[in-house]
Amino acid sequence: MPISIEESRVPFRGACKSVSNAVAPMTGTVRVLSDLHLGHSGTMIEDVEQLAPLIEGADTVIFNGDTFEERCPAFYEKGHDMLGELDALCRSVGAEAVYLSGNHDPDSWEHSWVDLCQGDVFVSHGHAILKYISPWSRNAGKTAQTIDGLWQEFEDSEQTIEQRFELTRKSCHATTVYQPQLGRSLISKALTVAEEAWPPSRPLSVIRTWINSPEDARDFVAEYRPHAKFFIMGHTHFPGIWKSGGLNVINTGAFFLLLNARTVEIADGRMTVHAIKRNRSGEFVRGVQKGVFSNLPLTTSE
């Protein structure tokens, strides 16, 4: 599924065959956003210009997965167009865009994670912490067998982080993505929420994932980034900050109705987490501060 973003400074290799972490060093102010789901009928982002206040002033913006709907034919074209606009917006305000893969865009980006602050901060979409990627999905039962088979091969290997993310990428392809034709009206959205909540085992699975994800994140980081103190993720769309063992897990939520997005900023050894709200002009701006962490090493990727 080739993507071409004119004059993009973002490393891109089309349908990537492997994952790597050769991200150029980052300095200055780094911000993290996730789960924009550009092109999806349920995203709150109608025009990428709405994101300008969250991008302006940053030297680097990390889009931490599910940036656009690579896997949904019904949403792909619009998502791809919006992605080009997002890239242009970042360039116009002098911000370097770094895109990481998510389960909705597993093949478009070269990178699946970055290490910041001399390894204290690990940033990745978060789908890799879940063996079945989206265990709440309608077809989770059917895809489990395929993913079990992939894991069997993996467990016989050396299990490096690169191999783990390649396994995750393959597992994404074992899953299918739901394409609700969601209208913009509140009634249409309410109907879709109701449909999403049926059968009741689905919301229960979502809640179980939300409850378990800080521990799942801790276990993943203990395996692959044992020295990290922070894990910035998205994926479950449930925003929050949790302490699990010695790890701070920060979830930046999603740009969907009911579930708010958050933004993380790292600058001068200080990390802040803010809720995102819409102003009267419809732009997304920083809202209430949800967390602050000080004394981090310099903001550079390793």
Q: What are the residues binding Fe ion (CB under 5 A)?
A: 35, 66
Q: Smallest distance from the beta carbon of 106 to Fe ion, in angstroms?
A: 12
Q: Smallest distance from the beta carbon of 50 to Fe ion, in angstroms?
A: 18
Of the two residues 35 and 166, which places its CB atom closer to Fe ion in the complex? 35
The edge-to-edge listing of strands for the beta sheet with 262-267 is 96-100, 60-64, 30-33, 262-267, 270-278, 284-293
Nearest residue to Fe ion, by Cβ distance, number only: 66
The edge-to-edge listing of strands for the beta sheet with 113-116 is 113-116, 121-124, 230-233, 247-251, 240-244
Q: Smallest distance from the beta carbon of 70 to Fe ion, in angstroms?
A: 12
Of the two residues 193 and 267, which places its CB atom closer to Fe ion in the complex? 193
Of the two residues 102 and 214, which places its CB atom closer to Fe ion in the complex? 102
Peptide bond into 135 cis (omega under 30): no
Of the two residues 125 and 164, which places its CB atom closer to Fe ion in the complex? 125
Q: Smallest distance from the beta carbon of 1 to Fe ion, in angstroms?
A: 18
How far apart CA 231 and CA 249 sit, in angstroms, is 5
Q: What is the DSSP letter of 125?
A: -
In the beta sheet, which residues pair with residue 277?
285
How far apart CA 272 and CA 262 sit, in angstroms, is 10
Of the two residues 264 and 296, which places its CB atom closer to Fe ion in the complex? 264
Q: Smallest distance from the beta carbon of 126 to Fe ion, in angstroms?
A: 9
